[in-house]
Amino acid sequence: METIGILIVDDHPLFREGVRNVLDAEEDLQVLAEATSGDQALQMVRDLKPRVSLIDVNLPTMNGIQVTRQIAAERLNTAVVLLTAYDDLGQVLHAFRAGASAYCSKDVHAGKLVDVIRHVARGYFVVGDQVVDSAGLEAWLAQGTESFRRPHLEGEVEAYTPLSPREMEILQFVTRGLSNKEIASRLGISHQTVKNHMTAILHKLDVEDRTQAAVYALRHGWVRLQDTRK
C-alpha cells in the first residue's frame, strides 16, 4: 500500500492535533510535518514535497489562497486541500481558481476528509460531494462563475481569478483604512498604479467599492483583524 505524505497547515494547535489524530489512524496516510503560517507552509512544501497539503485559509503572513497560488505558480507537486470556516460559493471559486484540488469546511466529517485526501492524491478534484477530473472542474468553474457574474462585470478582467501578490498587498492596506495615495506612498508606486490595481481587485472580487472589498477580505479570512492594526 502506497503511503500518502501530508502537511497540515493551521495556527491553532488543537485543530492540528485533531486532524493529526484522524490521519494517524489511517494506514496509508502519514503526516510529514505541521506548519503554523503561510510562509512556513510554502517552505515546507518545497522541502518535504508532500503529496497532499491541508491548508487553512486564515493564516498569519500569507493566507491560504496566497499560499495555494504560489504553490501553483512554482508547480510544486502537492495537492492542496483548503480548509476554512468561510464556506460560500464565491470563496470556493477563488480557491479552485488559485489552484486548490479540494475545498472543505472545517466542520467536515473525519471520514469525508480522509476520502478527499485519497481522491486528490490520485489527481482528482473534489467539489462538494462531486469527484471530478480536470475537465469536470473546468466545466464546474465556468458554470459557477457565470451564475455569479453581474452585469457591471465587463472587459478583460475575469471575476474569481486569484489576486496577484501586489493586489493582495494593496487589499491588506485597504482593510487598514489607507487611501490610494497613502498606499502608493507605502509601496513606492504611482497613485494611478494603485487605482489600476483597485479596479482589478473590484472586478476579481465582484464587489462595487473598496469598502465592500475590505469586508470581503475580512469575512473570508484573507486578512486578520490584528493585521489591520499594523
Please write the tens of the pLDDT for every residue from 101-152. Answer: 999 988 899 999 999 999 999 999 999 889 999 999 989 888 766 655 554 4
What is the arithmetic mean of pLDDT over 89-103?
88
Q: Which residue has the higher pLDDT, 87 or 40?
A: 40
Domains and CATH numbers, the chain: 4-143 (3.40.50.2300), 165-229 (1.10.10.10)
Chain segment 161-189, per-residue pLDDT in tens:
778 888 888 998 998 889 999 999 999 99
The reply to whether the predicted model has a pTM over 0.85 is no
**47-73, pLDDT tens digit by residue?**
999 999 999 998 888 899 999 999 999
**Secondary structure in 3-state letters for the chain:** CCCEEEEEECCCHHHHHHHHHHHHCCCCEEEEEEECCHHHHHHHHHHHCCCEEEEECCCCCCCHHHHHHHHHHCCCCCEEEEEECCCCHHHHHHHHHHCCCEEEECCCCHHHHHHHHHHHHCCCEEECCEEECHHHHHHHHHHHHHHHCCCCCCCCCCCCCCCCHHHHHHHHHHHCCCCHHHHHHHHCCCHHHHHHHHHHHHHHHCCCCHHHHHHHHHHCCCCCHHHHHC
